[in-house]
Amino acid sequence: MAFPSTNRDTLLRTEKIFFRLSEAGNFVVSDGTAFVGFLDEDGWVWIILPGLAKFVWKTGKFVRNFAAGALAPAIASTEWRRRHLLILGYHGVSIEDEHIWDGSLYMSPKLFRERLRVLQRAGCAVLPLGDAVRRLNEGTLPARAVVLAFDDGYYDFAAVVAPILAEFGYPATNFVSSYYAEFNRPIFDIMLRYLLWKGANKTLDLSGVLETPVKLDNKGQGEARLRIKTFAFERGLSGWDKDKLLGRLADALGIDYEQLCRKRLLHSMNAEEVHRMHAAGHSIQLHTHRHRVSRKRELFEREIQDNRRWLGQINGGAPLVHMSFPGDAWEPVQREWLTELGIETATTCRPGLAEKGGDQLRLPRFMDHEHVPEQVFRAWVSGSMAFFPQAKYLPGEGQILEDTIKMKSEVAL
């Protein structure tokens, strides 16, 4: 089977056939359960059935990436793409070496700037989420519409991301968790992991916390992390106590903790910085107060309301009606609660493009990161990647309140 070439004739025929198939409602494959279709050079349409589509995916991302890359130029200027919205998801952009530590959470500033260049060259329209979703529903989206959505509200958004966005004149939407914005010390879970990585291959002796010294090879880092987290959870340590514990850990590994704090590594933006980002034209939205959701209605609502109250004092009364699920911990039971809380959209990490009439309380989003090849990024921007089965995004650990070891003391924070 030949993949479509990019001559004009084929492009036009491709556009028509994709359009017709998507109109018929049987062509979207982003969940891996429908069909993948190709147009070959003689104008034949090849339909790959679900089993085979999964096989294509399993036999290697190479085939998928190649096919999506080949289709990208054809899909980018279709009417189909104009009626779909790409939400790109990010967490942090490095102040120092964070992307080397965890490339799925952090990206280098260099790569982030290259990503924006790709968007600029492709003639994408970058919109805040609220505008984009409204125009999606009105059918007035500009060509190749993209939303840049950042989760968590890290300090590096103000320090690194915003100046790069300003070079391009692009607005972003930042979903801010407010607990660490208020308690402005390093975020415990990620700083713990970062310090253990910084101490790689050393032997960690943390008496009173670890029964025996741990050699910090890959396995040892995971073990030490679990044991330190459990120690903090079981004792119901306060934010300050957990911060002291991180300081002790850094000392034990010969790392200058206060210097990391002065640079604000793995910190959230504080109130003044969040306000400044709002004033610079970025949309500040909800991500729960403590980066947790609950299966219990009362606790779920409290997370949103605490988050809303905190952000509401800062964003000049702009509506707080968009939410990103922390760690993608989405549960069907929450749909009704979201509606009653006046939440208009909820963004997940399920890869795909948003469409008119789609589920706005479960908006798909492609999570971009340091290890996503440029070819794949371009295929997402064009829209062609949405036609291929994607790996399921697994929720982050401990984002459902009831699943954490120490629920009571966390709620009491």
Q: Taking the complex as a whole, how short is the minimal distance between the CB of residue 153 and Zn ion, in angstroms? A: 9
Is 98 a residue that touches Zn ion (CB under 5 A)?
A: no
Is 15 a residue that touches Zn ion (CB under 5 A)?
A: no
CA 90/CA 151 separation, integer angstroms? 6
Is 156 a residue that touches Zn ion (CB under 5 A)?
A: no
CA 391/CA 372 separation, integer angstroms? 13
Q: Taking the complex as a whole, how short is the minimal distance between the CB of residue 265 and Zn ion, in angstroms? A: 17
Residue 286 main-chain phi, psi, to 5 deg:
-90, 140
What sections of 24-161 are H helices per DSSP? 50-58, 61-76, 79-82, 98-101, 109-121, 129-138, 155-156
Give the nearer residue to Zn ion in terms of CB position, either 80 or 325: 325
Give the nearer residue to Zn ion in terms of CB position, either 92 or 389: 92
Q: Taking the complex as a whole, how short is the minimal distance between the CB of residue 31 and Zn ion, in angstroms? A: 23
Q: Exposure string (b/e) for 308-332, b if CB count within 10 Å is 16 or more?
A: bebbeebbeeeebbbbbbbbbbbee
Q: Taking the complex as a whole, how short is the minimal distance between the CB of residue 398 and Zn ion, in angstroms? A: 12
Segment near Zn ion (CB under 5 A); pick from 146-154, 182-190, 208-216, 273-281: 146-154
Q: Taking the complex as a whole, how short is the minimal distance between the CB of residue 323 and Zn ion, in angstroms? A: 11
Q: Taking the complex as a whole, how short is the minimal distance between the CB of residue 167 and Zn ion, in angstroms? A: 26
Give the nearer residue to Zn ion in terms of CB position, either 220 or 326: 326
Instruction: Retrieve residue 44's tokens.
Output: 């034949």
Is 326 a residue that touches Zn ion (CB under 5 A)?
A: yes
Instruction: Retrieve residue 283's tokens.
Output: 């949309």
Q: Taking the complex as a whole, how short is the minimal distance between the CB of residue 89 and Zn ion, in angstroms? A: 10
Segment near Zn ion (CB under 5 A); pick from 118-126, 152-160, 228-236, 401-409: 152-160
Is 152 a residue that touches Zn ion (CB under 5 A)?
A: yes
Q: Taking the complex as a whole, how short is the minimal distance between the CB of residue 326 and Zn ion, in angstroms? A: 4
Instruction: Retrieve residue 132's tokens.
Output: 């984009």
CA 385/CA 12 separation, integer angstroms? 19
Is 89 a residue that touches Zn ion (CB under 5 A)?
A: no
Segment near Zn ion (CB under 5 A); pick from 192-200, 204-212, 324-332, 402-410: 324-332
Q: Which residue has the tokens 């679900």?
A: 50
Ramachandran category for residue 123: left, alpha or beta (phi over 0 → left; psi -120 to 50 → alpha): left
Is 151 a residue that touches Zn ion (CB under 5 A)?
A: yes
- Please give the residue whose beta carbon sits closest to Zn ion in the complex: 151
CA nearest to 195, candidates 122, 267, 253: 253
Is 303 a residue that touches Zn ion (CB under 5 A)?
A: no
Q: Give me the 99-138 binding string for Zn ion, x by CB under 5 A, dash otherwise.
A: ----------------------------------------
Instruction: Retrieve residue 207's tokens.
Output: 């008496």
Give the nearer residue to Zn ion in terms of CB position, either 355 or 403: 403
CA nearest to 294, candidates 163, 403, 408, 133: 403
Instruction: Specify the amino acid at residue 173.
Output: T
Compute how many other C-beta atoms are within 10 angstroms of the C-beta atom of residue 176.
31
Segment near Zn ion (CB under 5 A); pick from 38-46, 118-126, 150-158, 346-354: 150-158
Cβ atoms of 225 and 193 within 8 Å: the answer is yes
Count of residues engaged in binding Zn ion, rule: CB under 5 A: 3
CA 90/CA 106 separation, integer angstroms? 8
Segment near Zn ion (CB under 5 A); pick from 4-12, 54-62, 234-242, 323-331: 323-331
Interface with Zn ion (CB under 5 A): 151-152, 326
